[in-house]
Structure 1
Amino acid sequence: MPRDDYLEVDLAYGRDGLKVRLPRGRTTLIEPTYVPGLPDQVGALQTALRNPLGAKPLRQLVQPGQTVAISVCDGTRPMPSKVVLPVLLAELGHIPSEDITILVATGTHRPNTDSELQEILGEGIFQDFRVVNHSAFDSNGLKRLEDTPAGIPVYLNRIWVDSDVRITTGFVEPHFFAGFSGGPKMVAPGLAGFDTIMRLHNADMIGHAKATWGVTHGNPIHDAVRDIARQTGVDFSLDVTINRDRDITSAYAGEMFQVHQAACRVAKGSAMQAVDASFDVVLTTNSGFPLDQNLYQAVKGMSAAAQVVKQGGSILCAAECSDGIPAHGRYQEILASASGPEELLAMINTPGYDRHDQWQVQIQAQIQIKARVLLKSSFLSQGEVRAAHLEYVDDLDAAVEEELARHGSDARICVLPEGPQTIPYVS
């Protein structure tokens, strides 16, 4: 095919990106609606904090002598905490720093290292404030609350529960089974105990038809997360939306549910993109660093692609995976315990089956029942990719050509350069 018949597309991949060549007449490019960053991000944050939705401003809400816990994203999320936290903490300037604890909402992820925390928060905040990695596995660091109306046992971080004032910070984007990130997810699973997280992520919840991207009404996971956050009592919330440049595009502060709803509207308008029909081949990423640092996280990019791939189609996922599979957690162990996606799903759906990270395997297997999944990674070996029941890609350009040829001369490809920052759907 002549060179003019191709277009070159920049993919979000690791920190530096990756270029791919695609046939012009057969390619549909889908990206989120670009929203420029706010011209004065600090000013917008200050305005939101001082004019909150349904709550008093922090300077009135928090009194000297009270203890404050602030929930923040861990290193797997591109939350601009370095920008957000200094503005938030300035509004708490009347509170001594020793009375403020910053809790890193890791869920079941590994704890962040000191160097990672400095990168996430900024060196000044890391040095001046008490920063604690949440652990879902430390029973001494958890406190039991009443079960949710649905009977989910609630274990939450003890520091969080015992603080006088509880504040969440997060960024909002569509989430592949909770509907949207941010808001109440900064409490659970972010600060929840292992038993709580397992119930939130069990096979029935994950397999529910409405536990998917951008769906809140009737989504049992979203409902449960809201119940847990409501039960613990969140006094104030700050949510932002961001664009591909990691610039803040909107900021809302105040009562958590009002704030989250407002940010979800913005995120949905940008990320959710309608298409007329499904595609034979979908090329996706996992939004580059930090989200594509391991294969576990890359399932999100696969899930975005699965929304518009034909039954029996092909998904090509480009995720750098600098952190490997990863080695921590049980995702790799579960993948290795069965011969393929059908057997994995049967195992996970067996009554009484209960394993850490089973939810990610379940979603991956569901995707693979629908389509072949191929992976381009700079850090995973061919053996590691195959052990995860995926097909290894060395040359991405060649893989695109091969998959289109596999599906015939009329086959069409959709590309999601920003991965799950874009959620396509067939209208």
Structure 2
Amino acid sequence: MKVKFPFGREKIEVELPDSTQVLESKAAEYVPSKSQEELVQAALEHPIGSKRVSELAKGKKKIVIITSDHTRPVPSKITLPLYLKEIRKNNPDCEITILIATGFHRPTTKEEMLDKFGEELVKNEKFVIHMSQNDEDMAYLGVLPSGGELLINKLAVEADLLVSEGFIEPHFFAGFSGGRKSVLPGIASQKTVFGNHCSKFIASDKSRTGNLDGNPIHKDMEFAAKEAKLAFILNVAIDADKKVIAAFAGDAFEAHEKGCEFVKNLSKVEGTDADIVITTNGGYPLDQNIYQSVKSMTAAEACAKPDGIIIEASKCNDGHGGESFYQTFKNAKNPKEVEDMILKVKMEDTIADQWESQILARILVRHQVLYVADKSAKDILEDMHMTYVPTIEEALKKAIEIKGKDAKIAVIPEGISVIVTPKSNK
């Protein structure tokens, strides 16, 4: 059989044994009844659990729209113009600030802004990039259920109306992306992010892909969105080509819940126990660095035998994605040392990128990872205790040499788009 794997901005076709098990989200075959623009417009006109945002915007002076940064494939060229038009419908003179939710990521560059939003929006609208390390930009809003301080961007707190846009996909520890995640971690202080992403919460069996029930990380995020007075959201679901297949607008919690239900129904796949699992992080912009690509590795982890080999194919042309993340592994003798160290760290002592390091260490302790990436990432990958391989074909050949010619192979072409139901014996 032939399977196409997204890699950067292209797709790589690989020939695989006919016995290979393919795990894919049903989003690939979902055919929406309307165009992307029509889906978004209909959602704005018929919000869930809320008045239209044009009604909410009446009489408001300062309006802030939280949007995603360069690491998220939110189709803002489609969503944002329609959103802005709806907001200005009854209030053409309001002052709108578009706040780019970088969370703890690096700042979005001008080139990335143009690529994501288009020249017209960047030229004509007011954009501000959230900087989580700038204490002077933050406002204190109380204490999270976890006990951590809630500090978020002052622009959001001082707004007369706070709204957001985003997309909903399975998330490897928050359950799902979108909705409340625009506030925490999106526009939160690094101190708040560190508390929410502490080792105890990441280690919880409730902090898993597709689960919100009892999820301590989600609980903090919901609290943050309520305290920030996030009044309205526009969230979309997208397919493998990053095209809108559904849109959900309205109350920050009700609309998000509906969107999560939709995504869950498409994304759930029955797990397996494979000797070799091949996956990707969905191509650009999600596979720009190793940090982001840990997400898809958790889907492979759920499908691999305890000693199974994971083959991750992510471009990683932007390197590791987090200096502390990289140094944690580079300075350790092995992944077990990283895992043991992080599990002892108290919430108040959480360090940068610790959550990503914790999950990657968990995977590397139990699985050998062969990593197909841009050649520029070779030394970084090997410093981080993974094996760089130039192509998927070479990685598969190497894996079969280790596991034997009768090895059971599974592929998850887009690891970030599935919720794997583990087999009962795992």
Q: Shared topology, TM-score over 0.5?
A: yes
Give the CA deviation at 1:362: 0.5
Q: Does 2:264 match 1:268?
A: yes
CA contact (8 A) 1:321 1:379 kept: no
Matching of residue 74 in structure 1 with residue 69 in structure 2: yes
Q: State how far apart, in whole Å, the 1-side matches of 2:395 and 2:132 are.
A: 40
Alignment of 1:184-263 (within 5 A): 184-263=180-259
Counterparts of 2:242 and 2:32, CA distance in 1:
8
16, 24, 33: which one pairs with 1:31?
24
Given that 1:168 and 1:238 are in contact with CA atoms closer than 8 Å, whether structure 2 keeps it comes out as yes
Match of 1:152 in 2: 148
Asked if 1:14 corresponds to 2:21, the answer is no
Residue type matched to 1:29 in 2? V
Q: Hey, what does 1:335 align to over in structure 2? A: 329
Worse-superposed segment, 404-413 or 310-319: 404-413
Offset at 1:102? 0.2
**1:48 CA drift (Å):** 1.4
Q: State the alpha-carbon separation in 1 of the partners of residues 24 and 391 from structure 2.
A: 23
CA distance in structure 1 between the partners assigned to 2:213 and 2:319 by the alignment: 35
Distance in 2, Cα, partners of 1:73 & 1:169: 7
Alignment of 1:59-208 (within 5 A): 59-93=54-88, 94-96=90-92, 99-208=95-204
Task: Provide the secondary structure at the position in 2 that maps to 1:386.
Answer: helix
Task: Give the secondary-structure state (helix, strand or coil) at the position aligned to 2:10.
Answer: coil
Mind listing any 5+ residue stretches in structure 2 that lack a counterpart? Answer: none
- Indicate yes or no: 2:397 matched with 1:401: yes
Deviation at 1:98, TM superposition (A): 6.2
Q: Which residue pairs with 2:417 in the alignment?
A: 421
Any idea what SS the aligned residue of 2:356 has?
A: helix
Matched, 1:362 2:358: yes
2:388 aligned residue: 392
Whole-Å Cα distance in 1 between the matches of residues 292 and 93 of structure 2?
34
Q: 8 Å contact 1:104–1:134 — kept in the other structure? A: yes
The AA in structure 2 aligned to 1:373 is V
Q: For residue 310 of structure 2, what is the aligned residue in structure 1?
A: 315
Q: Residues 404 and 97 of structure 1: is their aligned pair in 2 closer, same or farther, counting only changes over 3 Å?
A: farther
Query: One-letter code of the match for 1:74?
Result: D
Matched position secondary structure for 2:253: helix
Closer, same or farther: CA 426–346 of 1 in aligned 2, 3 Å: closer
3-state SS, counterpart of residue 404 of structure 1: helix
How far the C-alpha of 1:401 sits from its partner, in A, is: 2.5
Q: How many Å separate the matches in 2 of 1:51 and 1:142?
A: 34
CA distance in 2, matches of 1:51, 1:420: 29
Shift of 1:334: 1.4
User: Does the aligned pair in 1 maintain the 2:60–2:161 contact within 8 Å?
Assistant: no
User: How many corresponding residue pairs?
Assistant: 418
Q: Distance in 1 between matches of 2:129 and 2:196?
A: 21
- Counterpart of 2:294 in structure 1: which amino acid? V
CA contact (8 A) 2:97 2:126 kept: yes
Q: Within 1, Cα distance between the matches of 2:64 and 2:70? A: 19
Distance 1:150 1:378 in 2: 39
The alignment partner of 1:235 has SS state of strand
Conserved in 2, the CA contact under 8 Å of 1:97 and 1:128? no
TM-score norm. by structure 2 comes to 0.95
Post-superposition CA distance 1:128-176 (Å, at most 9, x none) = 1110110100011110111123322100010011100000111001000
Deviations 1:313-364 (A, max 9, x none): 10000001111113x5421111122111100011212344531001111100
Letter in 1 for 2:252: M
1:222-254 Cα distance to aligned partner (Å, 9 max, x none): 111111111111111111101112111111111
Aligned counterpart in structure 2 of residue 282 of structure 1, from 277, 280, 297: 277
Q: Separation in 2 of the partners of 1:287 and 1:44?
A: 23
Unaligned residue ranges in structure 1 (runs of 5+) = 1-6
Query: Is the contact between residue 37 and residue 242 of structure 1 (CA under 8 Å) also seen in structure 2?
Result: no
- Which ranges of 4 or more aligned residues in structure 1 deviate by more than 6 Å? none
- How much does 1:65 deviate? 4.4
Pairwise CA RMSD:
1.5
Q: Name the counterpart of 1:3.
A: none
